[in-house]
Homo-oligomer: A and B are copies of this chain.
Amino acid sequence: MPLPSRLIEKAVDAFTTLPGIGRKSALRLVLHLLKQEKSHTQQFAQALLDMREGILECRICHNLSDTPECAICTDLRRDRSVVCVVENVRDLMAIEDTSQYRGMYHVLGGIISPMEGIGPADLHIDSLVQRLEAAAGEMKEVIMAISPTIEGETTVFYLSKKIIPLGISLSAIARGVSFGGELEYTDELTLGRSIIARIPYKET
Show the binding face of A for B, using Cβ within 8 Å: 1-8, 10-11, 13-14, 17-20, 25, 27-34, 38, 40-55, 63-66, 70-72, 89-90, 92-93, 96-97
Contact = CB atoms under 8 A, between A and B. Distances in A.
A187 to B, nearest CB: 13
A6 B45 CA distance: 16
Contacts of A51: 5, 7-8, 10-11, 30, 33-34, 41
Contact of A64 (B4, B10, B20, B38): B4
A51 B27 CA distance: 12
Number of identical monomers bound together in the oligomeric complex: 2
A174 B4 CA distance: 25
Given A4-B92, A14-B43, 18 more contacts: A4-B70, A5-B64, A5-B66, A7-B50, A8-B51, A10-B47, A14-B44, A17-B44, A33-B51, A33-B52, A34-B51, A34-B64, A38-B53, A41-B49, A41-B51, A42-B49, A45-B48, A45-B49
Given A27-B93, A93-B1, A8 B44 contact: no
Q: Which 10 A-B pairs have the closest CB atoms?
A: A45-B45, A41-B52, A14-B47, A11-B51, A7-B51, A10-B47, A14-B44, A5-B66, A11-B47, A7-B54
12 contacts: A1-B97, A2-B96, A2-B97, A4-B71, A4-B92, A4-B93, A6-B66, A14-B44, A18-B33, A18-B44, A20-B25, A33-B52
A27 B66 contact: no
A154 to B, nearest CB: 22
A19 B30 CA distance: 10
B65 A5 contact: yes
Given A32-B19, A38-B53, A52-B41, A13 B47 contact: yes
